[in-house]
């Protein structure tokens, strides 16, 4: 006896019923994303082949339950079975690209120029030097002639004002219906820093800020939407450590942001960094790469000492298919305790750590360059190249 051939009409009806099923993470329909590979109806069963960005997708059950509900509503009595496969790299990249485009359509209006590059400096845990790296990158880029916005999104643990040596109060302009925060402006080299932080808004910097997640995310939203970021070439965001409300808000507010992940050679730091990468990818945010901070110490004899071990960050990058963009050494005790970052950049001996960060700034300027006003960007990039070739990257 010949097996019964699948019929076409129920399959078409099922595909039509699934046309409005949306991936809850990516915000795009599963058919548009290429997740619905095949549908067959055979002997009272609907066999649905589903392609996911990862087999371990945490919302897999939710997607399958919605598909099952739609199928049984269209064809009561059908039993639904799933064949789940994983997308290859090209299919996953296409899905993420579509998700970013969808997120951009729904993103709120800000004053950030269309050609500016937004970089979120993030870490899985605290204590890895993320804030110092953010501030130092901002200073290095500004010294090369760029206008750099610094957004201190670490609402609880703000530290950019102290790192930069800025004592100021934030100002606002406009009307009660449409007001805007004016960043604190600092002339640095040939460029400018524009800084916003809770440190400019609090009366007593020693008082704890005890806000819950929704309030924290709202503060971050104000810093993004209601701040004058016009004319910035780069917007660097010092993210709070971990994977909380502000990190989730980043994907919604700034869907084109790239994520720079900071870790240290400690094995446990690499493990929690993986969670940060996973969260960024689930939010369809491109991860630019990994920076290993506190990678080694250079003693007075010029020898490198790997105090916290070595090799774990390379293994992390290999597992995640990410580039290791920089390995930043520990600064000298004198450099860490005596001066603000702008002062250290101006000194005769800024330290191996700032030299390495300046080299990272050059890489960002080359590969993550602003795209608006290309003539100006080209001239600033040329100026940065001249600094790099001078032997004191970004420090002349």
**Residue from 54, 100, 98, 26 nearest 258 by CA:** 100
The predicted pLDDT at position 368 comes to 86
Give the pLDDT band (50/70/90) at residue 7: very low
Mean pLDDT over each residue of the chain, to the nearest integer = 80
**Stretch 226-242: mean pLDDT, rounded?**
90
Percent of the chain with pLDDT over 90: 25
Q: Are strands 287-292 and 297-298 parallel, antiparallel or unpaired?
A: unpaired
Distance, in Å, from the CA atom of 10 to the CA atom of 317, rounded to the nearest integer, reads 46
- pLDDT of 354 higher than 90: yes
- pLDDT of 36 higher than 70: yes
Give the pLDDT band (50/70/90) at residue 193: very high
**Stretch 76-104: mean pLDDT, rounded?**
82
**Residue from 371, 253, 229, 230 nearest 239 by CA:** 253
- pLDDT of 324 higher than 60: yes
- pLDDT of 5 higher than 50: no
Tokens at 384, concatenated: 């940065």
The predicted pLDDT at position 214 comes to 60
Measured in whole angstroms, how far is the alpha carbon of residue 198 from the centre of its chain?
20
Give the pLDDT band (50/70/90) at residue 106: low
The H or E element spanning position 216 is helix 213-225
Kindly list the structural domains of the chain, giving each domain's residue range(s) and its CATH number in brackets, ordered by start.
Answer: 8-104 (3.30.300.130), 113-389 (3.40.50.300)
pLDDT tens column, 116-149:
899 999 998 888 999 999 999 999 999 999 999 9
3-state secondary structure of 317: helix
**Residue from 50, 55, 65, 59 nearest 26 by CA:** 59
Measured in whole angstroms, how far is the alpha carbon of residue 316 from the centre of its chain?
17
State the number of CA atoms in the 13 A half-sphere of 200 facing the CB. Answer: 25
**Residue from 229, 159, 167, 227 nearest 193 by CA:** 229
State if pTM tops 0.75. no
Distance, in Å, from the CA atom of 210 to the CA atom of 281, rounded to the nearest integer, reads 29
Distance, in Å, from the CA atom of 313 to the CA atom of 263, rounded to the nearest integer, reads 8
Cβ partners under 8 Å of residue 236, min gap 6: 119, 121, 134, 137, 138, 148, 149, 150, 151
The predicted pLDDT at position 393 comes to 41
């Amino acid at each position: 006896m010949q097996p019964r051939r699948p019929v076409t009409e129920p399959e078409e009806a099922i595909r039509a019923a699934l046309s409005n099923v949306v991936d809850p993470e990516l915000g795009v329909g599963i058919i548009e994303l290429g997740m619905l590979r095949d549908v067959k109806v055979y002997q009272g069963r609907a066999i649905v082949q589903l392609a996911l960005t990862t087999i371990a997708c945490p919302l897999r059950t939710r997607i399958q339950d919605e598909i099952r509900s739609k199928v049984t509503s269209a064809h009561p009595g059908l039993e639904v079975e799933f064949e789940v496969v994983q997308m290859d790299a090209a299919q996953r990249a296409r899905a993420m690209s579509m998700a970013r485009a969808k997120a951009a359509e729904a993103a709120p209006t800000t004053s950030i120029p269309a050609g500016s590059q937004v970089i979120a400096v993030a870490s899985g845990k605290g204590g890895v030097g993320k804030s110092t790296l953010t501030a130092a990158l901002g200073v290095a880029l500004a010294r090369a002639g760029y206008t750099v916005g610094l957004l201190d999104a670490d609402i609880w643990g703000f530290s950019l004002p102290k790192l930069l040596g800025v004592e100021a109060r934030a100002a606002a302009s406009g009307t009660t219906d449409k007001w805007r925060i004016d960043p604190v402006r600092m002339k640095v080299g040939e460029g400018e820093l524009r800084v916003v932080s809770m440190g400019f808004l609090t009366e007593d910097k020693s008082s704890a800020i005890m806000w819950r997640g929704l309030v924290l995310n709202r503060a971050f939203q104000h810093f993004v939407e209601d701040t004058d970021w016009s004319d910035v070439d780069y917007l660097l965001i010092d993210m709070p450590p971990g994977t909380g409300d502000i990190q989730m808000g980043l994907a919604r507010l700034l869907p084109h942001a790239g994520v720079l992940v900071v870790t240290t050679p400690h094995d446990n730091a690499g493990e929690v960094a993986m969670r940060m990468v996973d969260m960024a990818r689930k939010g369809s945010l491109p991860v630019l790469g990994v920076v290993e901070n506190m990678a080694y110490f250079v003693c007075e004899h010029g020898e490198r000492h790997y105090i916290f071990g070595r090799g774990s960050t390379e293994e992390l990058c290999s597992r995640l298919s990410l580039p290791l963009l920089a390995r930043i050494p520990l600064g000298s005790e004198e450099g860490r305790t005596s001066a603000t970052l702008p002062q250290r950049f101006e000194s005769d001996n800024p330290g191996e750590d700032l030299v390495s960060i300046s080299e990272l700034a050059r890489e960002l300027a080359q590969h993550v360059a602003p795209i608006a006003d290309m003539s100006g960007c080209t001239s600033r990039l040329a100026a940065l190249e001249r600094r790099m070739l001078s032997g004191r990257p970004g420090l002349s």
